């Protein structure tokens, strides 16, 4: 099995997208999975869903995905923009990520699950500042106030 076919299957990539190549970077402990689309692909406006021709392409983008084994994994693609007669020029939706996100949907799901499991989601940004055992808390968590004098 080719590495491109392996990643196509484990990522669930479907036409018109396909995995064009996979680059392993051992010094950086990462894998880059390059995605391209079939030229004959028919695109739709992400706003109204009507058929729309390709207008141009955004610069190459990269999305952080879940690790492949112990290697950081990134998806890389040049995403087309379409010109809708009603909504103008818009970037097409990609199946692996939300618009404008730098993470894949699966990576975001994993991050949310980790935050929930650790209770960090309740405290948002203050979770990273949780006091170490034995140290004195310097900031209240979740708006609670310490009664220590």
Do the beta carbons of residue 43 and residue 15 sit within 8 Å? no
* Candidate segments 15-23, 37-45, 72-80, 111-119, binder of Zn ion by CB under 5 A: 37-45
Sign of the dihedral defined by the CA atoms of residues 99, 94, 121, 132, in that order: negative
**Minimum distance between the CB of residue 48 and Zn ion, rounded to whole angstroms?**
3
Number of chain residues interacting with Zn ion (CB under 5 A):
6
Question: What are the beta bridge partners of residue 83?
Answer: 89
Query: Any contact of residue 84 with Zn ion (CB under 5 A)?
Result: yes
The nearer residue to Zn ion, 49 or 119, going by C-beta atoms, is: 49
CA angle 114, 119, 124 (to 5 degrees): 90
Query: Any contact of residue 47 with Zn ion (CB under 5 A)?
Result: yes
Query: Any contact of residue 83 with Zn ion (CB under 5 A)?
Result: no
- Contact with Zn ion (CB under 5 A) among 10, 24, 28, 48: 48
Torsional class of 138: left (φ above 0), alpha (ψ -120 to 50), beta (otherwise): alpha
Query: Any contact of residue 24 with Zn ion (CB under 5 A)?
Result: no
Do the beta carbons of residue 51 and residue 43 sit within 8 Å? yes
Query: Any contact of residue 82 with Zn ion (CB under 5 A)?
Result: no
């Amino acid at each position: 099995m080719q590495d491109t076919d392996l990643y196509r299957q484990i990522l669930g990539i479907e036409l018109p997208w396909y995995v064009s190549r996979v680059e392993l970077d051992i010094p950086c402990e990462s894998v880059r999975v390059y995605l391209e689309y079939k030229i004959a692909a028919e695109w739709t406006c992400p706003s109204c869903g009507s058929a729309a021709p390709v207008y141009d392409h955004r610069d190459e983008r990269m999305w952080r995905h879940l690790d492949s084994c112990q290697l950081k994994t990134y998806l890389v693609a040049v995403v087309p923009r379409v010109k809708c007669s009603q909504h103008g020029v818009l970037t097409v939706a990609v199946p692996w990520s939300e618009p404008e996100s730098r993470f894949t949907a699966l990576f975001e799901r994993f991050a949310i699950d980790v935050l929930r499991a650790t209770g960090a989601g309740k405290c948002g940004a203050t979770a990273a500042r949780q006091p170490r055992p034995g140290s004195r808390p310097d900031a209240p968590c979740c708006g609670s106030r310490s009664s220590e004098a």
